[in-house]
A = this chain, B = another copy of it.
Amino acid sequence: MQVRNLAAADPHLEGDHPCFGCPVRELAVCNTLAQGELAAFRTSGSCRHLGAGDPLCWQGDEATHVYTVTRGALRLSKLLVDGRRQVTGFAFPGDFLGVTMEDEHPFTAEAVCEVELCQFSRRRFDAFVDSHPHMERRLYSAAASELAAARDQLVLLGRKTATERLASFLLEMARRSDQSPGEPLRVMLPMPRNDIADYLGLRIETISRELGVLKTSGLVRMIGVHEIWILDRRGLEQRSAGGQ
């Protein structure tokens, strides 16, 4: 799930196509569309920009739009009535927001940094999908991926220790980050510690402490709060309790 700017070299897109230069052309749900379809699709959408902290949608609000993330990162979270929060995931470039059959947003989505999205009205999106079966297939594929990720997270939250959770998280973030080949793996953590804590079912102090342990053990190196280098991937994998 790495983001590469391939569009500039995409032989199927001409320079005046609205998706020309799109950084997630190869990743997003629209990657199954041929140029003509893509043009028709794209005209039904629009761009959207969010600053750090800005909400995209609230849990329970009517789901009027769907989105594809083209830049930045969002946190997806659910609240209990008393304010306890569970971050159910993060959305990165290429990720699609809108897999649901409900009329309401199943979670709150907020930007954790500068974010850009491709936005479509749900109605027009559904109509488009109806007339493009391979788009439906691609959506199903996206849903299946999200489901597999959610199940892995169930194992993490139900059965892993704090250290294992953090190690798993760093490895997951490394997988989803842009990587130049070879160690050390550079992991960008655009979200604050609190979001990591709410994602891993822990408290912020525990995140700090366990990061300290990994640092002292020589497994990682911290470059400021938002960047971490994985110095010993194998060691980190051993501490992550595998997964299957």
Which of B145, B154, B160, B198 is in CB contact (< 8 Å) with A101?
B145
Q: Is residue A107 contacting chain B, with contact meaning CB distance below 8 A?
A: yes
Chain B residues within an 8 Å CB radius of A47 = none
Q: Does A121 sit within 8 A of B, measured CB to CB?
A: no
Which listed segment binds B: A9-17, A74-82, A227-235?
A74-82
User: A157 is contacted by which of B100, B143, B157 (Cβ under 8 Å)?
Assistant: B157
A85 to B241, CA, bound (A): 12
Q: Which residues of A contact B (CB under 8 A)?
A: 59-60, 78-82, 84-86, 88, 99-102, 106-107, 133, 136-137, 139-141, 143-148, 150-155, 157-160, 198, 200-201, 241-244
Query: Which residues of chain B are near A201, meaning CB under 8 Å?
Result: 157-159
Oligomeric state, in copies: 2
A244 to B143, CA, bound (A): 21
What separation, in Å, do the CA atoms of A215 and B137 have in the docked complex?
Answer: 48
Which residues of B have CB within 8 Å of A241? 80-82, 84
- Chain B nearest CB: distance from A171 CB in Å? 15
> Can you give 11 A-B contacts (C-beta < 8 A)?
A78-B151, A79-B244, A80-B159, A80-B160, A80-B241, A82-B241, A86-B159, A100-B147, A100-B148, A153-B154, A154-B154
A80 touches B141 (CB 8 A): no
CA distance A198 to B91 in the complex (A): 28
B residues less than 8 Å from A244 (CB atoms): 59-60, 78-81
Q: 3 shortest A-B CB distances, which residue pairs?
A: A158-B201, A157-B157, A143-B143
**Interface-central residue, A59, A60, A88, A160, by most chain B CB under 10 Å:** A88
8 Å CB contact of A140 from B140, B151, B200: B140
A147 and B148: CB pair below 8 A?
no
Q: Are A81's CB and B150's CB within 8 A?
A: no
Q: How far is the CA of A201 from the CA of B165 in the complex (A)?
A: 14
Which residues of B are found within 8 Å of A60, using beta-carbon distances? 244
- In the bound assembly, the distance between CA atoms of A146 and B139 in angstroms comes to 15
Q: Is the CB of A159 within 8 A of B99?
A: no
